[in-house]
Amino acid sequence: MDILQRLGRFLDRPGFPWKRLIIGFEIAQYLFEGYLSLRQYKILQETKPPKVLEGEVSQEVFDKSQAYGRAKAKFGFVSGLYGQIQNFSIIYYDLLPKLWALTGVWLAQYVPANYAGEIVHTLIFFFSFNLITSILALPPSYYGTFVLEEKFGFNKQAVKLWITDMLKGQALMVVFGAPLLSGFLAIVQKTGNQFFYYLWLFSVGVQMYAITIYPIFILPIFNKLSPLEPGKLKTGVEDLAKKLKFPLKELYVIDGSKRSAHSNAYFYGLPWKKHIVIYDTLIEKSETEEVVAVLAHELGHWSLGHTTKLFGIAQFHMFYIFALFSVFINNRSLYQSFGFHTEFPIIIGFILFSDALAPMDTIVKLLMNILSRAFEFQADEFAVELGYSTELAKSLIKLQIQNLSTMNADWMYSSYHFSHPILPERLGALGWYGSEKKAEEKSMDNEKPIKASDREL
């Protein structure tokens, strides 16, 4: 498109301070998010629960929830600073061109000349960079799992399993990452200025392929899926699916408890064949009707078209990213600002472009959170219309207590970070006025904590 090419020429200005601009963006975003975290930390110092939860949560549970929230906030401050120092060092000290040059030396020494093109060079660079960043991520990952989560009773995995999972992840990165990245580069190289059309079609195909193979080949590497045994829960879920004309193919239980006490329920699959997965921890700690209510909420997303709408928005977002990338791919001033004066690798252009796009992506994230919270209210209302108002409210409260989730939030912090409404807002929308029975401390002693992961309720 001529307009994109003209925009590309306009932005390619010799001597333009791209590096200072991107560093400035990153620092500004870090400071803004730090300010939001400080606002939230004040909420985490409150000593009384929100009014709607006063009859549901004991003081001891609330205090422990607040302590957990403060511990995560402090960890977030430190890990955020650690990550910011890493990013700043990579940019300021021109580590990208130095690593590209080093991997070029390896390419010349160890790879036959017939294969020594940009694609192979990029693969060596990418996996080297990924290995470095993965090693740097080990300290905060270890602390978060084996210190913070362990302290509050959530972690269930041993160090051996943690290491094994990381090694499996790296192996999958090589097995699937190499052909995908090679395809990405080949499309850009061979399709000219209109490459973003073909790149977008390629990404759609990859997503559909991933939806198909993930439960068959990838998920079993990390977890065991077992058919849900016949009983009241299976009957209730199948009846719900039949009532909604949900194309349920299989109903599984996943052994999430071998890693943590966190819990969830979700569905996946192609439009004509869906699978529902329920965490064993959710089944263990919830009443049957509460689990069905959770799935009524999740299937509400499907029935109301939320999953389709979000998929469509994601494809539009991907298309506009690739289209904008075509504006920057030949921007010599951008490359030169980061130390690339004689070589202009595609992968480097995409990395630098992603950094330059960060402010716009922050706005997109905010808008998507607003939309997601609206969808959550609608899915809750859908469950209410099915007759699960009380069960859903009780399930949300139980999960909130058992996972020690934050029970209140600063409005600005939640607007920026949360894709789900906070519990008091959801209970208010459900018309829940509270019960007389207060959650006693025995719920913390006798029941192991669980927490929603992936797509929370």
For the annotated catalytic residues, the residue numbers are 298, 380
Return the beta strands (E) in 45-157 as ranges: none
Helix (H) / strand (E) element for 426: namely: helix 423-430
| Residue 51 exposed, middle or buried by CB count within 10 Å (0-12, 13-18, 19+) | exposed
Spatial CB neighbours of 196, under 8 Å, sequence gap ≥ 6: 319, 322, 323, 325, 326
Q: In degrees rounded to 5, what are phi and psi of residue 329? A: -60, -30
Nearest residue to 126 via CA among 99, 148, 94: 99
| Residue 21 exposed, middle or buried by CB count within 10 Å (0-12, 13-18, 19+) | middle
Question: Helix or strand or coil: residue 276?
Answer: strand
Helix and strand numbers (H, E) in the chain are: 20, 4
What is the 8-class DSSP label of residue 155?
A: B
Neighbouring C-alpha atoms within 13 Å toward the C-beta of 146 = 13
Residue 220 has a CB neighbour count (10 Å cut-off) of 11
Return the beta strands (E) in 280-342 as ranges: none
**What burial letters (b/e) apply to 62-91, b meaning 16+ CB within 10 Å?**
bebbbebbebbbeebeebeeeebeeeeebb
210 vs 265: CA distance, rounded Å: 20
Spatial CB neighbours of 358, under 8 Å, sequence gap ≥ 6: 22, 25, 26, 29
Q: Report yes or no: 437 and 453 within 8 Å, Cβ to Cβ.
A: no
Question: Helix or strand or coil: residue 431?
Answer: coil
345 vs 330: CA distance, rounded Å: 10
| Residue whose tokens read 């270890």 | 142
Spatial CB neighbours of 146, under 8 Å, sequence gap ≥ 6: 155, 159, 162
Helix, strand, coil percent values for the chain (each to nearest 5): 70, 5, 20
Nearest residue to 169 via CA among 211, 141, 196, 201: 141
